[in-house]
């Protein structure tokens, strides 16, 4: 569904939402590592401005996927802000405008833990399906968070809290199934 319908239907609802931009057939959003880095930094900066948690993301050269947790209005505002920042980047670096429109984006509401699992798997598998790279070596998605064999070796309350918090707080759902992801 588009963002306008999403906001009308799920007004002031807390949840997990998947946002995907329109796949650009002729233009690329991210052309080099500098552009991708700008995109990842934009995602991080936006979490300081908006009350959202980025549960998963994938930046492809011609589109992006975001899995966000928060109130529907905050998630939509964050997504629009990210698109606005990327639009400014495209205009200043390449003279391209009008490429990223929030009206052309797709929004899905994650309704249960199976859908959450499928959405994360879909997003993380995207670079591989596009034949861009081995999914574990793609730098513009958080593979190392989901599939890092060394993360379990980290000790201390801070790291234990980091590993378990995003999953266990995922809308109060049973998280054992989600935590058992090891490979696609």
Instruction: Give the global pTM.
Output: 0.76
pLDDT at residue 98 in the model: 83
On whether the CB atoms of residues 76 and 84 are closer than 8 A, the answer is: no
Q: Which domains does the chain have, with CATH numbers?
A: 3-179 (3.30.70.1290)
**Cα-Cα-Cα-Cα dihedral sign, residues 169, 175, 181, 184:** negative
On whether the CB atoms of residues 57 and 67 are closer than 8 A, the answer is: yes
At 179, the pLDDT band (50, 70, 90 cuts) reads very low
The proportion of the chain whose per-residue pLDDT surpasses 70, expressed as a percent, equals 68
Query: Mind listing the pLDDT tens digit for each residue in 66-97?
Result: 999 999 999 999 999 999 999 999 999 999 98
pLDDT at residue 132 in the model: 67
Which two three-digit tokens encode residue 173?
């759902």
């Amino acid at each position: 569904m588009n963002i306008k319908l999403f906001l009308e239907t799920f007004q002031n609802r807390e949840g997990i939402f998947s946002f995907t931009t329109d796949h650009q057939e002729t233009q690329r959003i991210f052309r080099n590592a500098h552009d991708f880095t700008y995109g990842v930094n934009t995602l991080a900066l936006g979490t300081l401005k908006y009350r959202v948690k980025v549960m998963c993301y994938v930046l492809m050269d011609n589109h992006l996927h975001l899995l966000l947790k928060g109130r529907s209005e905050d998630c939509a505002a964050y997504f629009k802000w990210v698109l606005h920042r990327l639009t400014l980047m495209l205009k200043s670096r390449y003279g391209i405008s009008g490429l990223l429109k929030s009206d052309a984006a797709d929004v899905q509401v994650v309704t249960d833990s199976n859908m959450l699992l499928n959405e994360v798997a879909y997003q993380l598998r995207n670079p591989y399906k596009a034949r861009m790279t081995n999914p574990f070596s793609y730098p513009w998605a958080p593979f190392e968070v989901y599939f890092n064999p060394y993360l379990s070796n980290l000790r201390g309350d801070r790291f234990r809290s980091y590993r378990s918090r995003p999953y266990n707080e995922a809308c109060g759902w049973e998280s054992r199934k989600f935590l058992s992801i090891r490979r696609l």
